[in-house]
Amino acid sequence: MNIPDIHIPVVEIPAGKKVQLFMKREDLIHPGISGNKYWKLFYNINHYLDRKPVKPYLITFGGAFSNHIAAVAAVAKQFGIPALGIIRGEELHDRWQDNPTLTFAARNGMDLKFVTREQYRNKDHITVSLQAEFPGALVIPEGGTNADAVRGVGLMLNNQTKDFDYLCTAVGTGGTLAGISSFCEDHQQVVGFTVVSDSSLEGKIRELTSKNNFSLIDSAFGGYGKIKDENIRFINDFKSRCGIPLDPVYTGKMMQKVFELTEQGYFPENSRVLCFHTGGLQGVEGANLLLKKQNRNLII
């Protein structure tokens, strides 16, 4: 993977007079490997291919609408490498063709193996079994979070980002926050907007960064992958006002919480706040299918 020769724009977001709010459009980096997923996979894939495996093979884990599954499938296709996705939810085995994310992954050549939720919780056991079955394979953890991913996320930081006071990112498995925390400037504070309820998350992040420059704010809005009507209204209004689409699981929830915090005075007046758009827009189609079945408003 080569760092794309494109300028990733940093755009100002109207937020009143209290703070200066900006967004770095990492969602534009690659049509199939979007946002932070590109950077999380960057060193993982490059280091693996540098070892010149005899039979390269990629294996990873994810749920039905996983951005990570979609990204790994796109990487595999780009490099002509076979790939296997271990998918949470055995009930999807006979109806995955109705799922846009899994259809995209399969269309890009990824084989799909469906396991029960109980089996999925024991991913370490599955990993040991897979490494025995495919000894030359690269097994990438769920969400792509590991030391190589943290280093890759550091490439999201450059001259465009060094003068901001606060750096904001949505948090799933914690790798993106750990990377920003590890490589940001000394004067910068990092704010992670957690979209999953996990009491062990902060400890996992601290294993990946040696800095104590971050804070976590609950932004789950009812739970991981749960979409409330207020989330839909915010996302649609944001796109109408700013021309920027947001996904409903990560960046959409983060931006909604950022606006709430701004109104509450969380950021000191005149602060320069940068939010990272970490992609995930491939999930909007699947979200809308669920919303349509529930006779609810759709994400535009």
Q: Which residue segments constitute the domains of the chain, with CATH numbers given?
A: 10-31+146-293 (3.40.50.1100), 38-144 (3.40.50.1100)
Q: Average pLDDT for residues 101-120, to the nearest whole number?
A: 96
Contacts of 291 (CB under 8 A, 6+ apart): 227, 232, 297, 298, 299
pTM: 0.95
pLDDT at 244 over 70: yes
pLDDT in tens, 165-198: 999 999 999 999 999 999 999 999 999 999 999 9
pLDDT in tens, 24-79: 999 999 989 989 999 999 999 999 999 999 999 999 999 999 999 999 999 999 99
Q: Average pLDDT for residues 207-235, to the nearest whole number?
A: 97
pLDDT band of residue 6 (cuts 50, 70, 90) is: confident
Closest of 31, 13, 37 to residue 23, by C-alpha: 13
- The sheet carrying 83-88 orders its strands as 110-115, 83-88, 58-62, 138-140
**Angstrom distance (rounded) from CA 150 to CA 157:** 12
**C-alpha distances in angstroms, 194 versus 34, 69, 82, 130?**
19, 20, 33, 30
Block residue for tokens 């420059």: 213
Lookup: tokens for 300 = 């535009």
Lookup: tokens for 182 = 């590890």
Work out the angle between the directed axes of helices 175-183 and 36-50 (0-180°, nearest 10): 80
Contacts of range 232-238, beta carbons closer than 8 Å, 24 or more positions apart: 232/291, 232/296, 232/297, 232/298, 232/299, 233/297, 234/259, 235/299, 236/297, 236/299, 236/300
The pLDDT of residue 17: 77
pLDDT at 3 over 70: no
Q: Average pLDDT for residues 214-228, to the nearest whole number?
A: 96
Q: Average pLDDT for residues 108-112, to the nearest whole number?
A: 97
Mean confidence (pLDDT) of the chain: 95
The pLDDT of residue 2: 73
Lookup: tokens for 118 = 């109980």
**Angstrom distance (rounded) from CA 77 to CA 272:** 39
